[in-house]
Structure 1
């Protein structure tokens, strides 16, 4: 089983990249985000997921271990195969995906090509308890976002997020800013204070 490839990018065609490892070229399917970090003739490291079937042997390559873990996790959802998982990871960063699941934002997930509303709903529903472990840099505000997604966040928090969203910020941006504001203001802060501090966070 191949876990990682370290070599030189030989060519890129469609979603396939050829990595030359000491004269042997390995073909790996990659997300658009991973492909955007690769350049022909330059050194590259890909973390590999190996699929072995009766009729095929296929490699999937990722720029990070976290992206590979999300690829595996997405396929635990009914109706999500390798192609759909790659489409999601091509559209959303791992942080955006973790946030969308925490906030139960199926519309964000449905932005990926080939993802209908039913599959998007299954992804955010079935992975909501697993996403925090795969949140990476999105982890700091994950608890608050899950509370918002489940409708159990406090009134001041909900009002502050709503107010910032009405000003044109995404729900994810608003929730992250309010989470940071809570650290400064404390759990008992009212919505006005959270909005003020949240705006300060968003202006940085």
Structure 2
């Protein structure tokens, strides 16, 4: 329902922010990483997910669309609610979650509050093959993805392109300018 919010930060706490959007203050639950980037009085854009319950409306915000997608997948697992999903993302991040699921590493979930061995197994079982680590795991920095997004491409398209470049030209790993040039050649004029 509400997939994106952009506004001025009015309040920052370790796990929430209040964004003023056109004069309306939205309280958004965020990961500590997203909260750390928020500064009172500055603009902030968040990918969001609205959870509607019988007695509650809760808005959850994320730095990246991939984090929101991981949150949505986590909440689709029986026994994982929004707060537990946020705890997983706060502890592991979406890349750490993808790595844990891909490798079947139940122990990676041990530091996450609310996740026991049975639920960890269930998460791995149900999310296996559904999570993809971002291009940053393969060597492209988040700045590279941000640069392409800043030039007008969608985040998912930017990550896919950087991943493709690194698969085809592994020698560009660590060469930011070469990687960006190669990605722009692939993307051409498509936005």
Shorter-chain TM range is 0.5 to 0.7
C-alpha distance 99-54 of structure 1, shift in aligned 2 (>3 A): same
TM-score by length of 2: 0.68
Q: Secondary structure at 1:36's aligned position in 2?
A: helix
How far apart, in 2, do the equivalents of 1:55 and 1:14 lie?
A: 24
How far apart, in 2, do the equivalents of 1:51 and 1:128 lie?
A: 24
TM-score by length of 1: 0.64
**Following TM superposition, by how much is the alpha carbon of 1:119 offset from its aligned partner in structure 2, in angstroms?**
1.0
Q: Which has the larger radius of gyration?
A: 1
How far apart, in 2, do the equivalents of 1:13 and 1:140 lie?
A: 32
For 1:64-103, what aligned pairs fall within 5 Å after superposition?
Answer: 64-103=64-103
Aligned to 2:133: 135
Alignment size in residue pairs: 142
Aligned to 1:21: 21
Q: Is the 8 A contact 2:8 2:44 kept in 1?
A: yes
Aligned to 2:175: none
C-alpha distance 59-115 of structure 1, shift in aligned 2 (>3 A): same
**Following TM superposition, by how much is the alpha carbon of 1:110 offset from its aligned partner in structure 2, in angstroms?**
2.3
**Following TM superposition, by how much is the alpha carbon of 1:140 offset from its aligned partner in structure 2, in angstroms?**
5.2
Hey, which bits of structure 1, 4+ residues long, moved more than 6 A? none
Structure 1: which 5+ residue stretches go unaligned?
142-179, 185-204
Superposed CA offset, 1:79-119 (max 9, x none): 11101000000001211111111110011122212211111
For 1:1-204, what aligned pairs fall within 5 Å after superposition?
Answer: 1-131=1-131, 134-137=132-135
C-alpha distance 109-138 of structure 1, shift in aligned 2 (>3 A): farther
Q: Is the 8 A contact 2:75 2:82 kept in 1?
A: yes
How far apart, in 2, do the equivalents of 1:47 and 1:130 lie?
A: 20
Aligned to 1:189: none
Q: Is the 8 A contact 1:101 1:123 kept in 2?
A: yes
How far apart, in 1, do the equivalents of 2:75 and 2:122 lie?
A: 11
Q: Is the 8 A contact 2:106 2:117 kept in 1?
A: yes
Q: Is the 8 A contact 1:99 1:138 kept in 2?
A: no
Root-mean-square deviation (CA), in Å? 2.2
How far apart, in 2, do the equivalents of 1:110 and 1:122 lie?
A: 14
Structure 2: which 5+ residue stretches go unaligned?
140-166, 172-191
